[in-house]
Amino acid sequence: MGEPRAKPTVFGVIPTRLGSARFPRKALADETGLPMVVHVLRQASRCRRLDRVLVAAPEEDLDLLEAVRRHGGEIVATRSDHPNGTSRIAEAMATLDPEGDPDSIVVNVQGDEPLIDPAHIDLAVERLEGDPNAGMSTLVCPFSPEEDAADPNVVKAVVAASGRALYFSRAAVPGMRSGEPAPPRLRHLGLYAYRRATLDRLASLPESPLERIERLEQLRALEHGIPIVVGEVDRAEGGIDTPEQYAAFVARWRSIGTG
């Protein structure tokens, strides 16, 4: 008998950049005493299932690269012309691990979620490991009472009984017939875990028709027949897109620190 196969490595990669239209240089916002990207890095570093955590950022964002290094984080400098985080992560992994195991797992950790729950990242990894025929995993949660399922800025997911994704949309899906009670809807969380082979394949594929219509890159996977297994959590922390949302995070952070 041969040697037992080594367990695939699990990478956590945080794609980020300074060029944000609604909140320029938000990755370096530091009213808490730490740049926002470092908050994300520290949360990801608390995960049980990540073997290695790093930040992927454009090579010209020198302030960002230096801030991560100064706080002890690992960084991979990438090109500036990536259309999305998946593409940036694929380049980072090609640089970091060019001969990587196709079964290794790469988690896309959003760089604007400084309160992301490490347990959510672990669940995404575990769901992918538990479905060997799935190419990637993601998470959903129920809508809270104050959230509007019709809001196109909040992405909805439809999940099959098998636990795999059927569709993602900005529309309020599933639809509702007149006179029928409102169906339960699931909010999609922008956290993805990929098998390395799937990540490389997705980065090489062109934008798909549904992806272009909905402006949701995960639809590229579904349109090309890549199964996405889904895990459900009880809540979402949400990302930071505006200075107002960042101010709310700072207030919450300070209250946590004092209470």
Instruction: Give this prediction's pTM.
Output: 0.93
Query: Residue 187, SS3?
Result: strand
Q: Is 245 part of any domain?
A: no
Does residue 259 surpass a pLDDT of 50? no
> What is the count of structural domains for the chain?
1
Determine the pLDDT at residue 258.
Answer: 55
Q: Per-residue pLDDT tens for 74-123?
A: 999 999 999 888 999 999 999 998 888 888 999 999 999 999 999 999 99
Say which residue, 233 or 259, is predicted with more confidence: 233
Cα Rg for the chain, rounded, in angstroms? 18
Q: Give the percent of the chain with pLDDT over 70.
A: 96
Torsion over CA: 150, 235, 110, 249 (sign): positive
The CATH number assigned to the domain holding 121 equals 3.90.550.10
Mean pLDDT of 4-31: 88
Q: If you search the block for the tokens 């593409």, which residue do you land on?
A: 87
Q: If you search the block for the tokens 């949309």, which residue do you land on?
A: 169
User: Are 37 and 74 in contact, with CB atoms under 8 Å apart?
Assistant: no
pLDDT tier at 3, thresholds 50, 70, 90:
low
Residue 80: which domain range?
10-237
Query: Residue 191, SS3?
Result: strand
Query: Residue 79, SS3?
Result: coil
Helix pair 118-129, 36-45: axis angle to 10 deg: 50
How far out from the chain centre does Cα 59 lie?
A: 21
User: Are 124 and 231 in contact, with CB atoms under 8 Å apart?
Assistant: yes
Q: Is 242 part of any domain?
A: no
Q: Per-residue pLDDT tens for 13-24?
A: 999 999 877 898
Q: Is 202 part of any domain?
A: yes
Q: Which residues contact 74 (CB under 8 A, 6 or more apart)?
A: 52, 53, 54, 55, 68
Q: Is 127 part of any domain?
A: yes
Q: Is 2 part of any domain?
A: no
CA distance 100 to 197: 9
Q: Is 132 part of any domain?
A: yes
Task: For strands 136-142 and 228-232, give the pairing.
Answer: parallel
Cβ-based burial of 250 (10 A; exposed 0-12, middle 13-18, buried ≥19): middle
